[in-house]
Amino acid sequence: MEEYAEVIVDVPAMQTDQPFTYRIPEDLHGLLSAGMRVEVPFGKGNRHIQGFIMSLFTGEKQEQTKDITRALDLEPVLNDELLALADYMKETTFAFKITCLQTMLPSVMKAEYQKTLVLQDAEAAKEAGVRELFDASGELDWLAAQATGKLGTLLSLRQAGAVNLRYDVHTKNKVKTTRLVTPLLSPTAAEEARGELKKTALRQAQLLTMLATTKASLPVKHYKEQGISTSVLNQGAENGWLRFTEVETYRDPYAHREFAQTHALELNGDQQVAVQAIQAAGDAKEARTFLLEGITGSGKTEVYLQSIAQVIEAGKSAIMLVPEIALTPQMVERFKSRLGDAVAVLHSALSQGERYDEWRKIERGEAKVVVGARSAIFAPLQDIGLIIVDEEHEATYKQEETPRYHARDLAIWRGKYHHCPVVLGSATPSLESRARAQKNVYTLLRLRERANPEANLPTVDIVDMKAEYSHKNPGNFSQVLKEKIADRLAKDEQIVLLLNRRGYSSFVMCRDCGHVVDCPNCDISLTLHMDVKRLRCHYCGHEEAIPQKCPECGSRKIRYYGTGTQKVQEELQGLFPEAKILRMDVDTTRKKGAHERILRAFGEKKAQILLGTQMIAKGLDFPDITLVGVLNADTALNLPDFRASERTFQLLTQVSGRAGRAQKAGEVLIQTFNPEHYAIQLAQRQDYEAFYQQEMFIRHQSGYPPYYFTVKITVSHEEEQKAAQKIFALTNELSKQLSPQTIFLGPTPGNVARVKNRYYYQLILKYKKEPRLQGALEQILVASQQDLRQGLLVSIDNEPMNFI
Ligand code: ADP
Ligand code: ZN
Ligand code: ZN
């Protein structure tokens, strides 16, 4: 009998989805288990690659089974739960299993491959004049070999069998250690040693004094700060006065920050109901999903904090997901100051090493609460008691590359696994989630009032920009907004201005009547393609020239719409030369920590106006903001995506929520060319429930989610014709296999038809019930390996967040 392992291997070129069997060599018996990474030989050349052990078994001796080369971990990096989650992910996102497994781990644990030339025939190498390139053990690093200028010779030696090419798995997950000094002398022994020193050996005498006064192992740094150099310490170690030890340490980006302890606030009625319902489900070990629908400032975060505190008290752990952008210092501070060291924070601004250290802390059970963006849903916590998805409607929870998972779905899966509640929170829930609450799939909890008793919802007014233009005001600021800004500047209150960048310049609108050019076949606006100067529908493929005049009113003032934040800043500064303005957009936040710095400066009142894009809409909780201005509410409205209204409503609600969060009354001004549009009208009334009803009606009429499920298939190739042929072939194939009730949108060219010299085509399927779809899509996935050899990339996006 022999021991074997089933291994999913990392084959970068041709994805291989089946586990391969490897023999476990004797020296690894008893050391391996499922979820560990190993190095294995693969393929004809026996390249060494990384693999994940799926299971172990004992069986009859099998010929031709290769041996595992070595273990890359001492403990499993993926536990049984996460291995099962990978299967679920694979099934629902149509990705390869190895991709799912790798996605769950910090990126430092992805394998890198190192190539080495290994000398086989020293004589032949000598004759060819390259013997001296190899080191004593006959090895030469591949990268170094390329710099020798002898690559041709080396390769012909390889062909002749005189040199071999070896692949090694190179892992980067280095643990950071700190060197400690452990004193070995008793005070009397130290005294004696000092007596024997030369008079001039001052530093050694000082070291002995320091060693005599402490028994603790202190970092080398501590001695250096006192002027003791490395060589003096080394001398001390040689003399037997001290010993060096290495301890593992974490790179903690928050190590030098103090978080003042905060305490639970007394909850209001709505909050109490919510906390109690969540706790009751937890106590009953019920995997219930709650939708916490609470207006901005209603104290959702307080509900999260108190619910998590209860979970920790019960000895369990919790995950709190937030959109990346919401990981502001304010949010982190609220969690750290309430829950202390139990909190690990995961976000993209951490270095790879910092992320890896946070991950290890979680894996070892040293962190009980994980606060993080999308990928924090893979946190290797044990015994989870609660999972929270804040701002659950945010599109950032969906990963836009394979595996295209939605963190909300994985949260619910993990909730079921741990028999614990999941809370989806938002002021503006996604239609999908709100509809599920309607059907009692989720339990609806509502917070209807602002939690701070002194705060009130701001008043919201709409400014019709069409009227402004007819008054010959061509700028970005209406008369009334200018007056309000001047008023707040005079009172030394703060102002937030939002310039909506979504859908920027991509559509054509009449500046006189606000008319937007729509597709004749679909209920959606046409997209401007500047590269070809034409308008195109992304749903049905309809195409037309850019009109010279407005088809509605005949005006010639028809143009594409939008301005940049920098230009607006200049205009604003021109209007208010004295005002201090902070700008926050992709350009000003590129550097690490820039986002934080801008917010801190604004919080410290170093500026009166914060002008920015979407990224300012969330999380800001400053008491002196009394005016919020939305410069252009329409841009997102006209995107050719059925979620355009929903996104506009969400954004306007979020940004309005920044005003009037404390005693001072808040005011919001929304500038728009479409003052009568329901998304804008209902955002003005701050009435999510009415918006939900209205939008559901429209989705029902036009047949979109949540009434239909959707899947998007994208094909790309360097040659347009190849991509087109493939998408039409797939369409034909699918229409044969699927039921006639399924609706095909397209195929159409991608939004940007050519990206990085590849042509994109897409097909969207809408369906209610389609039992054969899973199989059909899996077939496409399997065949995609074959397609890849012809340069075709085929991808499947289940429930796409973007239709364009
Ligand atoms: P949300 O997350 O719903 O936007 P927050 O949790 O940020 O709301 O709460 C908004 C403000 O109200 C915060 O300043 C918070 O400290 C305060 N707050 C929350 N709950 C209470 C409460 N029960 N009593 C008094 N103030 C509260
Ligand atoms: Zn017009
Ligand atoms: Zn169309």
298 CB under 6 A from ligand 1?
A: yes
CA of 552 to the centre of ligand 2 (A): 5
Between vectors from CA 279 to CA 277 and to CA 282, what angle results, nearest 5°? 115
Once rounded to an integer, what is the mean pLDDT over residues 23-42? Answer: 91
**pLDDT tens, 462-491?**
999 888 877 776 788 999 999 999 999 999
User: What CA–CA distance (Å, rounded) separates 355 from 343?
Assistant: 14
CA of 172 to the centre of ligand 3 (A): 49
Average pLDDT value over all residues in the chain: 87
State the pLDDT confidence band at 741, using cuts at 50, 70 and 90.
very high
Q: Report the atom number in ligand 1 closest to the C-alpha of 301.
A: 6
**pLDDT tens, 655-696?**
888 887 777 888 999 999 899 999 999 999 999 999 999 999
State the pLDDT confidence band at 291, using cuts at 50, 70 and 90.
very high
- Cβ atoms of 327 and 345 within 8 Å: the answer is yes
Q: Which domains are delineated in the chain?
A: 2-109 (3.40.1440.60), 112-170 (no CATH), 177-248 (no CATH), 269-447 (3.40.50.300), 459-505+562-699 (3.40.50.300), 709-798 (3.30.70.600)
* pLDDT for the residue 767: 96
* pLDDT for the residue 18: 84
Residue 653's CB is within 10 A of a number of other CB atoms, namely 23
Beta strands in 160-202 (DSSP E): 163-170, 177-183
Once rounded to an integer, what is the mean pLDDT over residues 360-379? Answer: 92
* pLDDT for the residue 147: 78
Is residue 10 pLDDT above 80, yes or no? Answer: yes
pLDDT greater at residue 457 or residue 26: 26
Residues annotated within a binding site for Zn(2+) = 510, 513, 519, 522, 537, 540, 550, 553
Give the CA count within 13 Å in the CB-facing half-sphere of 616: 33
**pLDDT tens, 612-643?**
888 887 667 788 899 999 998 887 777 778 89
Question: What percent of the chain has pLDDT above 70?
Answer: 92
294 CB under 6 A from ligand 1?
A: yes
Question: What percent of the chain has pLDDT above 90?
Answer: 46
CA of 533 to the centre of ligand 3 (A): 18
Once rounded to an integer, what is the mean pLDDT over residues 304-323? Answer: 96
Residue 747's CB is within 10 A of a number of other CB atoms, namely 20
**β-strand partners of 762:** 714, 748
* pLDDT for the residue 562: 44
* Helix orientation angle between 187-195 and 202-213, rounded to the nearest 10 degrees: 170
**pLDDT tens, 560-613?**
654 567 778 888 999 999 999 999 876 677 677 788 889 889 989 999 999 988
Burial readout 681-697 (b: 16 or more C-beta within 10 A, e: otherwise): bbbbebbbeebbebbbe
Residues annotated within a binding site = 510, 513, 519, 522, 537, 540, 550, 553
**pLDDT tens, 169-191?**
666 666 777 888 888 888 888 88
CA of 509 to the centre of ligand 2 (A): 8
* pLDDT for the residue 486: 96
246-260, 372-386, 694-708, 741-755: range with lowest mean pLDDT: 246-260
Q: Which of 145-149, 516-520, 731-735 has the highest mean pLDDT?
A: 731-735
690 CB under 6 A from ligand 1?
A: no
CA of 703 to the centre of ligand 3 (A): 15
301 CB under 6 A from ligand 1?
A: yes
- Report which protein residue has its CA nearest ligand 1's atom 17: 452
- Report which protein residue has its CA nearest ligand 1's atom 5: 299
* pLDDT for the residue 312: 95
**pLDDT tens, 198-211?**
888 888 889 988 88
* pLDDT for the residue 505: 47
pLDDT greater at residue 498 or residue 199: 498
* pLDDT for the residue 272: 97
Which of 301, 448, 661 for mutating ligand 1's site (highest number of atoms within 8 Å of CB)? 301
CA of 504 to the centre of ligand 3 (A): 20
User: What CA–CA distance (Å, rounded) separates 753 from 292?
Assistant: 40
Give Cβ neighbours of residue 604 (< 8 Å, ≥ 6 apart): none
- Cβ atoms of 581 and 573 within 8 Å: the answer is yes
Give Cβ neighbours of residue 701 (< 8 Å, ≥ 6 apart): none
452 CB under 6 A from ligand 1?
A: yes
* pLDDT for the residue 328: 67
CA of 633 to the centre of ligand 3 (A): 24
267 CB under 6 A from ligand 1?
A: yes
293 CB under 6 A from ligand 1?
A: no
CA of 758 to the centre of ligand 1 (A): 49
Is residue 504 pLDDT above 50, yes or no? Answer: no
Which of 293, 296, 302, 624 for mutating ligand 1's site (highest number of atoms within 8 Å of CB)? 302
Ligand nearest to the CA of 521: 3
Q: Report the atom number in ligand 1 closest to the C-alpha of 295.
A: 3
* pLDDT for the residue 532: 65
Is residue 402 pLDDT above 50, yes or no? Answer: yes
